Structure 1
Amino acid sequence: MFKIAIADDHQLVAKAIAGLIDKMEQYEVMYEVENGKQLIHYFELNMIPNIVLLDINMPELDGYETALWLKNNHPNVKILALSMYDKEEAIIGMLRNGAKGYLLKGCRPSELKLALDSVIEKGFYYSEYVTHKLVKNLHAEKTANPIEQLGLNSREKDFILYACSEMTYHEIADKMCVSPRTIDGYREQVFQKMNVKTRVGIVLEAVRLGLFHP
């Protein structure tokens, strides 16, 4: 019999999920908690399940923080995220922090059973929806271009490279064959697009994005 713990601050949802799981063969709900802090308390009492069904949005240690704690302290416990959030950031954040699967709360009971079985047998469960999101994100990461991401034009890119040098703004204006006022315009646009407020900020962000190599 595999033991399940449910961490969800919505008690009605937790009770409903527990009721479904208790009707499944091979699975038994050990306990339900409302946040990560309570879950850790049970773990410290050595009440350690095989799988934790983990919500994201909880008070006192949310799903991300709790998943990371489990990953670092009890890596053998399988984490199955169960959330209303369907955004890529939420899915990837939970998987990065150790979740072995991600379910939406609107899923069918049959998918919940499939996910539990898969996590036990294979060590992970990725639904078609999650797989699509992951593939889309990985593709975006591979093709991401910082120039395109920031929406920089060629003149702004040139300005950034000159701003990373020891040249003054007046010298940059001469170099780019424009007026100092035009350089002021480039600077303000770059500040906004790079989300920085100083020339030092431009340099640091340019280095981080690989636009400039000191």
Structure 2
Amino acid sequence: MNKNGIAIVDDHLLFAQSLTSLIATLDKYEVLFHSLNGEDFICKLSTQTTVPNLVLLDINMPVMDGLETMGWIKENYPALRVLALSMDDREETIIKMLRLGARGYLLKDIHPDIFEKALDDVLIKGFYFSDRITNTILDSIDKKEETDKLRLKEREMEFLKLACTERTYKEIAEDMFLSPKTIDGYREVLFEKLEVKSRIGLVLYAIKNKLIEV
């Protein structure tokens, strides 16, 4: 059986070695190479005869970090599927990675079974986001009808698109010339309409329904 090739980009050698050992126990996957940072990844990728099916990308790395690397991948290998794997659980970092085209975001303390499911989902469904990161369920987005977009009012759509940026809710209120309390109201209305529970859920909905470009 042909295995799916994985590239690991992480500057922590011990973690990368442990991850390589874990992947070696999975029937459908194999590690093609390991890179210490984005610059090293670009160099090694250029020497590969086969492009990896999936890249496991750390965020905080020297020389060229995960965000810079994700930007390069988006520009040069847009079809390459990337799963972010990091200890950084900040909302702004997750949103940046989603906007750059990451197909999933995992924290490094996940259970091995969840890790394998994430690999499967990214390759089969195209996305994976755990409840811990998104606080929402992608399946509920898949089931929403196209009419949902039509139910969004113009100002709600404006808020949704701004929520998919790095701007804080306070800055969004200033951009829309509204009070923070009114912005909180828009947020809660969209949470209910779109059946999501977090800002990350809003971003996922916008990406899945092509309301923003990634």
Q: CA separation of 1:111/1:139 partners in 2, compared to 1, >3 Å: closer, same or farther?
A: farther
Distance 1:141 1:83 in 2: 23
Pick aligned residue for 1:94 from 93, 97, 116:
97
Counterpart position of 1:85: 88
Pick aligned residue for 2:13 from 11, 14, 29:
11
Kindly provide the amino acid, as one letter, of the partner of residue 135 in structure 2.
H
Distance 2:82 2:117 in 1: 15
Counterpart position of 1:153: none
TM value normalised by structure 1: 0.64
Distance 1:110 1:88 in 2: 24
TM value normalised by structure 2: 0.64
Report the alpha carbon displacement of residue 44 of structure 1 after superposing the two structures with TM: 1.3
Pick aligned residue for 1:141 from 163, 166, 170:
163
Kept in 2: contact 1:88–1:133 (CA 8 A): no
Report the alpha carbon displacement of residue 79 of structure 1 after superposing the two structures with TM: 0.3
Distance 2:72 2:40 in 1: 13
Structure 2: give runs of 5+ residues left out of the alignment: 139-158, 181-214
Q: CA separation of 1:138/1:126 partners in 2, compared to 1, >3 Å: closer, same or farther?
A: farther
Report the alpha carbon displacement of residue 43 of structure 1 after superposing the two structures with TM: 1.6
Counterpart position of 1:57: 60
Distance 1:139 1:73 in 2: 25
Kept in 2: contact 1:3–1:49 (CA 8 A): yes
Structure 1: give runs of 5+ residues left out of the alignment: 150-214
Output one character per residue of 1:91-149: Cα deviation in whole Å (capped at 9) or x when no partner: 111111111000000101111100000001011111112222899x9599397422545
Kindly provide the amino acid, as one letter, of the partner of residue 37 in structure 1.
E
Q: Which has the higher contact order (CA 8 A, sep 6+)?
A: 2
* RMSD across aligned positions (CA): 2.6
Aligned residues: 149
Counterpart position of 2:41: 39
Counterpart position of 1:66: 69
